[in-house]
């Protein structure tokens, strides 16, 4: 017996919806009982264009038409954050599951008010760690490395003294406690460690402290959180002799970047460094 597909109405056709959510939903359509049954956008032309791109049959001409369609079992709200509260309030009268991108409210107070208003039977969310590309990346890493990413990997914090200098004694104590607790790895220099504000030498010293504690018992991840390709490349070269098990490098941030810029970030000098 074939399960009846879950009919999903997608609201919003912006870059985020087209780049991430809709491709993931189309992937799921071929694997689970899910169907993108309709799409809506304030600009109908964009909705029509997106529907053609992702082979969605129904284009709604108004938000009221979405709400009144009795064949829809849940909503995926991917509109501009400023419009999310208004749309959610209108959808709530159907008492159906709603997935919404963050943030659900423009202010903390508004988010609390909306949360109190939601009486739907369940809450649905899509976690990007299960995206097909992320799963493929995980399989690649686990295949090619002697030490596999698995288990508990705490993000080490960077303890500071009253003068703003790293307290390496406290750092060693923290790593020793976590190691004794049985963690499988350490993540050094990430956002929890305020890695973007540490100098390369401070990252080096922090890594060396944790490495000394680990003594090869845990795998070590070292992050470089610089905001430009050149800065990342310089730091990676400067720290390459440390030979972490995994080097964590992020895409450029702070300023607005096109997808082509980010692809170039990975495909130029950085590609050679990470081989």
DSSP state letters, the chain: -PPPPEEEEEE--SHHIIIIIHHHHHHHHTTSSEEEEEEE-SSHHHHHHHHHHTT---B-SSHHHHHH-TT--EEEE-S-GGGHHHHHHHHGGG---EEEPSPSSSSHHHHHHHHHH---S------GGGSHHHHHHHHHHHHH-SS---S---B----B-TTS-B-HHHHHHHHHHHHHTT-SEEEESSTTTTGGGS-HHHHHHHHHHHHHHHTTSSEEEEEE--SSHHHHHHHHHHHGGG--SEEEE----SS---HHHHHHHHHSHHHHHT-
- Same-domain pairing of 170 and 209: yes
Domain of residue 252, CATH code: 3.20.20.70
- Same-domain pairing of 126 and 175: no
Tokens standing for residue 211: 């490495």
Overall size of the chain counted in residues: 275
1 — pLDDT class (breaks 50, 70, 90)? very low
**Which residues form the domain of 171?**
145-273
- Same-domain pairing of 189 and 82: no
**Structural domain count, the chain:** 2
- Same-domain pairing of 264 and 214: yes
Is the dihedral angle over the CA atoms 167, 170, 176, 177 positive or is it negative? negative
pLDDT tens figures, 25-36: 998 888 888 899
Main-chain dihedrals φ then ψ at residue 162, nearest 5 degrees: -65, -15
Main-chain dihedrals φ then ψ at residue 110, nearest 5 degrees: -65, -40
- Same-domain pairing of 21 and 64: yes
Domain of residue 14, CATH code: 3.40.50.720
pLDDT of residue 85: 86
pLDDT tens figures, 167-223: 999 999 999 999 999 899 999 999 889 888 999 999 999 999 999 999 989 989 999
Residue that finishes a domain, picked among 130, 160, 188: 130
- Same-domain pairing of 110 and 155: no
pLDDT of residue 170: 96
Note whether 159 and 175 are within 8 A (CB). no
260 — pLDDT class (breaks 50, 70, 90)? confident
Residue 260's Cβ-side half-sphere holds a number of Cα atoms within 13 Å equal to: 0
Q: Which of 28-32, 144-148, 263-267 has the highest mean pLDDT?
A: 28-32
- Same-domain pairing of 39 and 123: yes
- Same-domain pairing of 124 and 152: no
- Same-domain pairing of 152 and 269: yes
- Same-domain pairing of 126 and 155: no
Tokens standing for residue 43: 């600009």
């Amino acid at each position: 017996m074939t399960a009846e597909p879950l009919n999903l109405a997608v609201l919003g056709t912006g870059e985020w919806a087209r780049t991430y959510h809709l491709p993931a939903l189309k992937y799921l359509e071929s694997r689970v009982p899910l169907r993108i049954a309709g799409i809506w956008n304030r600009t109908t032309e964009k909705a029509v264009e997106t529907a053609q791109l992702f082979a969605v049959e129904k284009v709604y001409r108004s938000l009221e038409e979405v709400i009144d369609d009795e064949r829809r079992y849940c909503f995926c709200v991917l509109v501009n954050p400023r419009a999310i509260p208004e749309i959610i309030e209108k959808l709530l009268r159907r008492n159906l599951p709603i997935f919404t991108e963050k943030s659900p409210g423009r202010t903390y107070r508004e988010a609390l008010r909306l949360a109190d208003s939601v009486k739907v039977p369940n809450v649905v969310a899509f976690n990007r760690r299960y995206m097909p590309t992320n799963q493929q990346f995980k399989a690649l890493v686990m295949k090619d490395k002697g030490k596999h990413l698995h288990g508990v990997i705490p993000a080490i914090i960077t303890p500071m003294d009253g003068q703003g200098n790293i307290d390496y004694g406290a750092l060693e104590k923290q790593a020793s406690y976590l190691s004794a607790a049985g963690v499988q790895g350490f993540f050094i220099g990430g956002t929890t460690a305020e890695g973007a504000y540490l100098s390369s030498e401070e990252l080096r010293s922090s890594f060396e402290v944790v490495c000394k504690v680990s003594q090869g018992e845990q795998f070590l991840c070292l992050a470089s959180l610089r905001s430009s390709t050149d800065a990342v490349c310089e730091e990676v070269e400067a720290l390459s002799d440390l030979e972490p098990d995994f080097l964590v490098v992020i895409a450029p941030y702070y300023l607005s970047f096109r997808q082509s810029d980010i692809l170039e970030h990975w495909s130029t000098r950085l590609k050679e460094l990470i081989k």
